[in-house]
Amino acid sequence: MQIVLVGFMGSGKTTIGSLLSKELNQLFIDTDETITNRINMSVNEYFTLYGEPKFRQLETTVLAELTENKGVLSTGGGIVTNEANRSILKQLPHVVYLKTAPDEFIRRLEADKTNVRPLFLSRKTDEMIALFQERESFYHEVASHIVETTNKTPEAIVLEIMKEVGVE
């Protein structure tokens, strides 16, 4: 089985993906981590050196490769901005949109000092909310399942995903 997690930055894709993979005894793969290992630099450094369009191209290549694997796949928050990525994601049976309220993802992003996100660092709160609103229809477009994460524990979200995809 393969479960792909999509959602805005701060929605919990990495945290939930890691917990879900352990619960299901499946491989956990993170697209951003895979890219970081491949390019030998952080996503932030790559953004600075080459820009977002070049990063999105690389992301499409990695997504296409990783969707061949079984397990839990956590994607980057902007993966849905690319039409080719949306096309790939819509072909998959279990794409879970981790839907998170803007005030919740802003709080999480401000608290996260280990996973620095270039788009978050360069924008004000209202700009982040506008970016989320630009992407929200794309998350809905690719999702076969939608799980609300606001005010829920990671463990509760994992259980809800398992129920959604039929692996209780």
Binding-site residue numbers for ATP are 10-15, 117
Binding-site entries: 10-15, 32, 56, 77, 117, 135
Task: Give the residues across from 30 on adjacent strands.
Answer: 74
Instruction: With beta carbons less than 8 A apart as the criterion, state whether 6 and 30 touch.
Output: no
Instruction: With beta carbons less than 8 A apart as the criterion, state whether 86 and 138 touch.
Output: yes
98 to each of 17, 52, 144, how far by Cα in Å? 11, 23, 11
Rg (CA), the chain: 15
Binding-site entries for substrate: 32, 56, 77, 135
Q: 76, 85, 94, 60: which is closest to 163 by C-alpha? A: 94
Q: Supply 55's token pair.
A: 């990063």
Binding-site entries for Mg(2+): 14
